[in-house]
Amino acid sequence: MRTKLTILGLIALALLSYGLYQALVAAPTEQTMGDVQRIFYYHVPSAWTAFLLFFCNFIASAIYLLNRSQRSDAFALATAEVGVVFCTVVLVTGPIWAKPVWGIWWTWDARLTTTLILWLIYVSYLMLRRYSSGGQTPVLAAALAIFGFIDVPIVYFSIRYFRTQHPQPVIAGAEGSGIDPLMMKALMINWLAFIVFGAIVVWLRYKLERARQQVEEAHALREEQSLEQPRVDKPAVDARAS
């Protein structure tokens, strides 16, 4: 397993390095925004990776509700947590890009607001899992994840259905939209690199959660055994004897 992880890590490193080269050197400079537009090659693939991870979380949560398997519960938690990390990257790189281009860090338009709501939904999912101690926590979290996922298509379509400060889609957008093939190549390589990197981090988080579940089970078993053990009573001391 360690060897597989090392190989996957090296592939991710190679892809991320190549992606960085594509983004900073190979991709042409955008005419109106200049070099700051290169934030696009990290901002957009991070958003797409977050959407993909939230979709995996949605599937794993639905499976958990059907079969109550601890594996799907651990996978749901791992994908949600790593998805939140990628969504945080989107919410941090977005304003850094907005400031020099729009002149403001933030505006409450449909795309930005729905993305912030998406982040808050999954942060609340993680907080529920972290701070709730009842036996029903995974069930409640799975239900929240299923309803929370509804926000993903809302975020995606927000720039198509509303007039926003955020640019209109350049990929699969309206007629006449589109980007230079070299820009597209840089974008896709970075997305692939983020997917591979994200998969490794999800795998690590999943293994950690499985280990935590096993330790918790062992603790519960030990407590059960200690309760079952016959009590060795101390010899009764007759108070009258003294």
Residues that bind other proteins (CB under 8 A): 20, 35-36, 38-39, 42-43, 46, 82, 85, 88-89, 92-93, 96-97, 99-100, 197, 201, 204-205, 208, 211-212, 215, 218-219, 222
Distance CA 238, CA 68 (A): 54
The owner of tokens 């992880």 is 5
CB of 79 vs other proteins, minimal distance in Å = 14
Joined tokens for residue 35: 């070099």
Q: Which residues contact 84 (CB under 8 A, 6 or more apart)?
A: 50, 119, 122, 123, 126
CB of 121 vs other proteins, minimal distance in Å = 19
The DSSP code sequence of 102-129 is HSSS----HHHHHHHHHHHHHHHHHHHH
Q: Which is nearer to other proteins, 179 or 208 (CB)?
A: 208
Q: Which is nearer to other proteins, 30 or 154 (CB)?
A: 30
CB 82 within 8 A of CB 50: no
Q: Which is nearer to other proteins, 5 or 66 (CB)?
A: 5
Q: Which is nearer to other proteins, 23 or 121 (CB)?
A: 23
CB of 215 vs other proteins, minimal distance in Å = 5
CA distances from 162 to 113, 165, 173, 217, 219 (A): 12, 10, 14, 49, 52
Q: Let me know how many helices (H) and strands (E) the chain has, helices first.
A: 7, 0
CB of 174 vs other proteins, minimal distance in Å = 27
Q: Which is nearer to other proteins, 62 or 195 (CB)?
A: 195
Distance CA 56, CA 83 (A): 10
CB of 93 vs other proteins, minimal distance in Å = 4
